[in-house]
Structure 1
Amino acid sequence: MNKPRRPAAGPGPHNTHPGARSGDGRAAFSAANSNTRILGPRPFVLPRPAATESAASAGPPANLGLNSERQRHEMVRRLRAQGITDERVLAAMGAVPRHLFVDQGLASRAYDDAALPIGYSQTISQPWVVAHMIEAMARDRTPQKVLEIGAGCGYQAAVLAQFVPVVHAVERVQGLYEQARRHLDALALPGRVHLSFGDGMAGLARHAPFEGIVVAAAGVKIPEVLFDQLAVGARLIAPEGSTHQRLMLIERTGPASWQRTELEPVRFVPLRPGTQA
């Protein structure tokens, strides 16, 4: 992976020191690499942004003058300059109208490379973090079914749904679950994104195994139950730690073996158990 420039710090999840580094991890993880490759269907693309924005006009008026297709193209150009190379991910980031997922008071900042508050002490991750995590999870393969832990306002699930046929997303805060459902309904994505209200730390065993898992909150340790919900050859990416956090990439290399790779420092909201009304 090319080294991206250091993204600007924001009030929520952000990369603070680009670059990658491998670690041995715990003894349960093997050193073998998997060559499993999962082929998928032709990429799915949302309706053109103008139609999408019009469809969402039943809600608060969107600040279309400040959040045009041109700004999404500029965001994609910046992501490419920061080292994102997967064309599927870049196209997905350019297709989803991020300004529809933030409060209209923050619409003018929707395409900045910054995390933004979405209520309930949570944030929408900065674009570079979203793109980087999805790229790392899906590199050299097209997952057919992915699990997202911490759906938030629904933005990352919408990006994933651009080239993943089935996305399961879990959100533990009821207000955010309702918010995500409204956003995904407005974009006509419920058929591709299956949103659940529940404890993300438990995963979603009834729909496992998954060919990719993305965790959008940091636990002191990644819940081991999620490792068992990965298909062999699949990858999980998640922040790990409390005061000092790092992105961790976990690849299941066999029925009882996993490879653990340590990536860059980040800062995410904490991963919490249970649900919140």
Structure 2
Amino acid sequence: MLKLEDSYIHKGQRKSLVKTLEKKGILDKKVLDAIGTVPRHFFFDSALHSHAYEDKAFPIGEGQTISQPFTVAFQTELLQVNPGEKILEIGTGSGYQAAILYLLGAEVHTIEYNKKLYEKTKKFLPKIGINLNFYHGDGSLGLAAKAPFDKIIVTAGAPVVPNSLLKQLKIGGILVIPVGDRNSQKMMKLVKKTTRQVTQEAYDNFAFVPLLGEEGW
């Protein structure tokens, strides 16, 4: 069994992180509670534990990163998660974002392009009590076999909004995705009103690793 300690110091650091996120404009109490509950240091190599509660992104190997907590909170807030919703996450990465969705009561389906990361995270998350549906494959094409989804969240920067993802979204569903070039993206929130009508809002610039695959880079 995995031996990981969540000390009073770690819990205090999470409280400070939550206060930082509130000051930066995150208002959804459920999202803040989830960030305050998930031990982010569990997702770091022990050498980096002292940095786990800084509001920064950090490398996790394979050219990927664990997202900045503000980014995770911002995307999750836009997604408006309700308990029991079926959510597709594109880009499992370290599993931290998926853990937040799980804590909010979602049925999480998460797909990872990188085989090594997929295997590592699939093994790790159940050891800390986070039970999700894991898939290895091209997330830019979504997950047609399990569609439709109430919500879809993409944790990598896309050149355009993949058609496959919009098709796999339920009517009334929300897609949150960073769209732009390889260096900078606008966070987009798309709401599927009908099969032909989709509304969209754009938010501040973010920087994600590229979305790889047929409908990505």
TM-score by length of 2: 0.92
Deviations 1:165-205 (A, max 9, x none): 30000001111112211321111222xx1111111011011
The one-letter amino acid of 2:213's match is: P
Unpaired runs of 5+ residues, structure 2, are none
Question: Does 2:24 correspond to 1:82?
Answer: yes
Give the structure with the higher percent strand: 2
Give the structure with the higher percent helix: 2
Bigger radius of gyration: 1
Count, aligned residues: 213
Aligned-residue Cα RMSD (Å) equals: 1.8
2:150 to 211, 220, 227: 211
The one-letter amino acid of 1:117's match is: P
Q: How does 1:96-111 map onto structure 2 within 5 Å?
A: 96-111=38-53
Q: Distance in 1 between matches of 2:31 and 2:88?
A: 17
Q: 1:266 to 1:133 in 2, by over 3 A?
A: same
Partner of 1:161: 102
The one-letter amino acid of 2:148's match is: P
> Does the 8 Å contact 1:148/1:215 carry over to 2?
yes
Question: Does 2:141 correspond to 1:202?
Answer: yes
> Identity of aligned pairs, percent?
38
Q: 1:170 to 1:185 in 2, by over 3 A?
A: same
Deviations 1:196-252 (A, max 9, x none): 111101101111111111100011112111001111111111111114311111110
Q: Distance in 2 between matches of 1:67 and 1:159?
A: 21
Q: Distance in 1 between matches of 2:143 and 2:49?
A: 33
Question: Does 2:66 correspond to 1:144?
Answer: no
The one-letter amino acid of 2:120's match is: Q
Q: Distance in 2 between matches of 1:120 and 1:186?
A: 22
Unpaired runs of 5+ residues, structure 1, are 1-54
Deviations 1:18-69 (A, max 9, x none): xxxxxxxxxxxxxxxxxxxxxxxxxxxxxxxxxxxxx631xxx65x569511
Q: Distance in 1 between matches of 2:74 and 2:104?
A: 15
